């Protein structure tokens, strides 16, 4: 389908595809086994300007918006859903500063992040506060011109490799979500260390680590917005970043579809390639239809956000839910088409199936996303009545 990409976007996709074919594909399986973070490829991403796509021009970026982030993430994810997160997760960590940071914060942090000289990460999830983000236990107490942070964050993508962390902590526990505040914490800050590095089922080339705050002192000037606005900052950030998860899921699904068509065309049984069998054709047709439907929804949502829509929580949740469900469906069918070989690590589709699963879980489980969608439908119905 023609999605009417402009010249910049077409070149962006071609560039991401070249990096995927030449740099990511040869090492994806090895990094999946070792779990090593791909610093050399991150340098290529930085040199290609990927980290500046969502940063305003006055701070060293190109201010192109969510659509370009989606295009790059989708294309890179065709080759490795874990490595692509080095781009998408840094966007997630940067968005709170872009959305709600003051001029001084933007001037200090965004040029470095836009240049890819350091990565960003977002710290919200805790051991007892996953879907229930309002139950965060990490505390931030103001003392003079500093805030003292105590607590921990778990399952943090880019944990241990990022230079800048945007962290949600409670400044007034009695107020619940209205007592949460957002902070910028720099790597190397005294009292800020790292705990467990997670040994994951999929996306193993992405760093996932616990953040630990033990009387961590940060300057009061690192408060994003005002006290009590942290939950709002987090929700605005996730509404903007969920299309990135959808793009990761879409790329994994599209990559699995491409490999399935190629394999089915070459694999022979009963004297002919298996793509000649109606059962396989039906599976491939359904896979392709789901991929295109997910892509159409995702691109429409990205353009909606870039177009200045005031509210897009429902649409952001919809594209995340649908694309991630498609990723699981398509990669599962891809393993089936590959048969016994699909179950072996010698072929990449089993990795794609493992990578796809997390897209239904992080940045808001699909069960929570359906609640978001339903809540917005109810609001719309009430306004119309």
- Mean pLDDT for 285-305 is 98
- Mean pLDDT for 303-330 is 97
- Mean pLDDT for 6-18 is 97
% the chain with pLDDT above 90 = 96
Is 27 part of a structural domain of the chain? yes
Q: Is the pLDDT reported for residue 385 higher than 80? A: yes
Domain end among 67, 86, 114: 114
207 and 326 fall within a common domain: no
361 and 257 fall within a common domain: yes
Question: What pLDDT shows up at residue 89?
Answer: 97
- Mean pLDDT for 21-37 is 97
Is 1 part of a structural domain of the chain? no
Is 164 part of a structural domain of the chain? yes
Torsion of CA 250, 255, 258, 261, to 10 degrees: -90
176 and 240 fall within a common domain: no
Is 23 part of a structural domain of the chain? yes
Torsion of CA 43, 236, 156, 65, to 10 degrees: -10
Measured CA to CA, the distance from residue 79 to residue 345 in angstroms comes to 15
- Mean pLDDT for 274-288 is 98
Domain end among 65, 96, 114: 114
Question: What pLDDT shows up at residue 145?
Answer: 96
pLDDT digits over 96-142, tens only?
A: 999 999 999 999 999 999 999 999 999 999 998 888 877 899 999 99
pLDDT digits over 35-65, tens only?
A: 999 999 999 999 999 999 999 999 999 988 9
Read off the pTM. Answer: 0.96
Q: Residues near 78 by Cβ (< 8 Å), separated by ≥ 6?
A: 17, 20, 251, 252, 254, 255, 258
In the chain, the number of structural domains is 3
Is 294 part of a structural domain of the chain? yes
pLDDT digits over 74-83, tens only?
A: 999 999 999 9
If 0-12 CB within 10 Å is exposed, 13-18 middle and 19+ buried, where does residue 260 land? buried
Q: Is the pLDDT reported for residue 250 higher than 80? A: yes
Is 304 part of a structural domain of the chain? yes
258 and 367 fall within a common domain: yes
Question: What pLDDT shows up at residue 131?
Answer: 82
Question: What pLDDT shows up at residue 279?
Answer: 97
- Mean pLDDT for 349-358 is 98
97 and 176 fall within a common domain: no
Active-site residue set = 363
Domain range for 359 is 231-380
18 and 67 fall within a common domain: yes
pLDDT digits over 178-197, tens only?
A: 999 999 999 999 999 999 99
209 and 84 fall within a common domain: no
CB half-sphere exposure, 128, CA atoms < 13 A: 5
97 and 205 fall within a common domain: no
Is 385 part of a structural domain of the chain? no
Domain end among 197, 214, 230: 230
225 and 268 fall within a common domain: no
14 and 106 fall within a common domain: yes
Q: Which CATH number covers residue 265?
A: 1.20.140.10
Q: Which CATH number covers residue 42?
A: 1.10.540.10
235 and 134 fall within a common domain: no
40 and 51 fall within a common domain: yes
Question: What pLDDT shows up at residue 132?
Answer: 83
Measured CA to CA, the distance from residue 147 to residue 259 in angstroms comes to 51
Question: What pLDDT shows up at residue 237?
Answer: 96
Q: Which CATH number covers residue 141?
A: 2.40.110.10
Is 342 part of a structural domain of the chain? yes
Measured CA to CA, the distance from residue 20 to residue 374 in angstroms comes to 37
């Amino acid at each position: 389908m023609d999605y009417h990409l402009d010249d910049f976007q077409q070149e962006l996709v071609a560039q991401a595809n070249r990096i995927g074919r030449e740099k990511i594909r040869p090492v994806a399986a090895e990094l999946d086994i070792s779990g090593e973070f791909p610093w050399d490829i991150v340098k290529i991403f930085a040199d290609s300007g990927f980290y500046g796509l969502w940063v305003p021009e006055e701070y060293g970026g190109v201010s192109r918006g969510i659509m370009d982030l989606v295009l790059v993430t989708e294309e890179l994810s065709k080759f490795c859903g874990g490595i692509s997160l080095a781009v998408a997760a840094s966007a997630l960590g940067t968005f709170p500063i872009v959305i709600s940071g003051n001029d001084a914060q933007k001037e200090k942090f965004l040029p470095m992040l836009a240049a890819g000289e350091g990565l960003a990460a977002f710290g919200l999830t805790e051991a007892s506060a996953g879907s229930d983000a309002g139950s965060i236990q990490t505390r931030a107490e103001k003392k003079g011109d500093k805030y003292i942070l105590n607590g921990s964050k778990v399952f943090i993508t880019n944990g241990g490799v990022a230079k800048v962390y945007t962290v949600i902590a409670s400044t007034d526990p009695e107020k619940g979500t209205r007592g949460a505040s957002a902070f910028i914490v720099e790597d190397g800050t005294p009292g800020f260390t790292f705990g467990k590095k997670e040994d994951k089922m999929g996306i193993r080339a992405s760093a996932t680590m616990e953040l630990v705050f033990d009387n961590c002192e940060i300057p009061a000037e690192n408060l994003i917005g005002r006290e009590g606005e942290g939950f709002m900052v987090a929700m605005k950030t996730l509404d903007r970043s969920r299309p990135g998860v959808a793009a990761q899921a879409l790329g994994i699904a599209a990559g699995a579809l491409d490999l399935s068509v190629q394999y089915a065309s070459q694999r022979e049984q009963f004297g002919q390639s298996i793509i000649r069998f109606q059962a396989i054709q039906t599976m491939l047709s359904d896979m392709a239809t789901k991929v295109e439907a997910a892509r159409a929804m995702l691109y429409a949502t990205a353009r909606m956000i870039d177009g200045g829509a005031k509210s897009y929580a429902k649409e952001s949740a919809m594209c995340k839910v649908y694309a991630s469900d498609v990723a699981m469906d398509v990669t599962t069918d891809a393993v089936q088409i590959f048969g016994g070989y699909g179950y072996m690590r010698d072929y990449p589709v089993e990795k794609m199936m493992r990578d796809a699963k997390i897209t239904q879980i992080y940045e808001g489980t699909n069960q929570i996303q359906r609640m978001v969608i339903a809540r917005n439908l109810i609001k719309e119905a009430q306004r119309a009545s």
